[in-house]
């Protein structure tokens, strides 16, 4: 009797292992053979689930970015004070980094490489960044409008916050000298400067 495979579950399992390969080798150097070996399967079996490396990476990217945006939107939609919303955004990112570090690193590592020759992947990353900055901007502007936060150039500050966090994710992946908690505390100090007294 043939084995029945839960295809969405199997694709998710392959994605998890592929993220480890992409994080370790980088997008350019990783191959589907590397991913197949990591999964304990043959390369031809892998082709039953993903046609090529770009499709697999796009699947991983979509999963990671949708999860991050869902966390951001949920924090932004809460009824909390704007400062608490900002804290929630970064706390949720920190929690996700602890539980899915390999997924975030695969995306962060690939970002500079995929721009050339991978327009679809690059546009997905750019769209995510734009939406993330829009969410942060809305929190900043709403906070200023309700006299909860200092009035700042919302889009510019949101872009700065986004870049700080993106840099933090990359930094934490390559160093053991500091912890996520230390950096989140430092980020909170920075965010506190936005809070209206």
Query: Per residue of the chain (197 residues), what is the pLDDT tens digit?
Result: 567 878 899 999 999 999 999 888 888 889 999 999 999 999 999 999 999 998 999 899 899 889 989 999 999 999 899 999 999 998 888 777 777 777 777 777 666 666 667 778 888 888 989 999 999 999 999 999 999 999 999 999 999 998 888 777 777 766 666 677 788 888 888 888 998 87
Say which CATH topology domain 60-192 has: Tetracycline Repressor; domain 2 (1.10.357)
What lies within 8 Å, CB to CB, of 59 at 6+ separation is 11, 15, 50
Q: Any idea where the domains of the chain sit in the sequence?
A: 60-192
Altogether, the residues listed in the chain come to a count of 197
Kindly calculate the radius of gyration of the chain based on its CA atoms and give it in whole angstroms.
Answer: 19
Q: Tell me the whole-structure pTM to 2 decimals.
A: 0.83
CA torsion sign for 79, 85, 87, 91 is positive
């Amino acid at each position: 009797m043939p084995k029945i495979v839960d295809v969405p579950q199997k694709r998710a399992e392959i994605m998890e292992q592929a993220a480890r390969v992409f994080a370790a080798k980088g997008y350019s150097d990783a191959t589907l053979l590397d991913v197949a070996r990591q999964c304990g399967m043959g390369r031809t079996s892998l082709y039953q689930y993903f046609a090529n490396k770009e499709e697999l990476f796009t699947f991983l990217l979509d999963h990671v970015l949708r999860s991050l945006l869902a966390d951001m939107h949920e924090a932004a939609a809460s009824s909390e004070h704007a400062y608490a919303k900002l804290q929630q955004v970064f706390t949720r990112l920190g929690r996700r980094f602890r539980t899915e570090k390999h997924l975030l690193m695969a995306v962060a590592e690939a970002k500079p490489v995929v721009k050339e020759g991978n327009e679809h992947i690059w546009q997905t990353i750019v769209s995510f960044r734009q939406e993330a900055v829009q969410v942060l901007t809305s929190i900043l502007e709403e906070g200023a409008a309700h006299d909860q936060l200092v009035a700042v150039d919302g889009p510019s500050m949101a872009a700065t916050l986004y870049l700080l966090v993106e840099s933090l994710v990359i930094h934490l992946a390559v160093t053991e000298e500091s912890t996520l908690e230390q950096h989140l505390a430092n980020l909170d100090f920075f965010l506190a400067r936005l809070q209206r007294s």
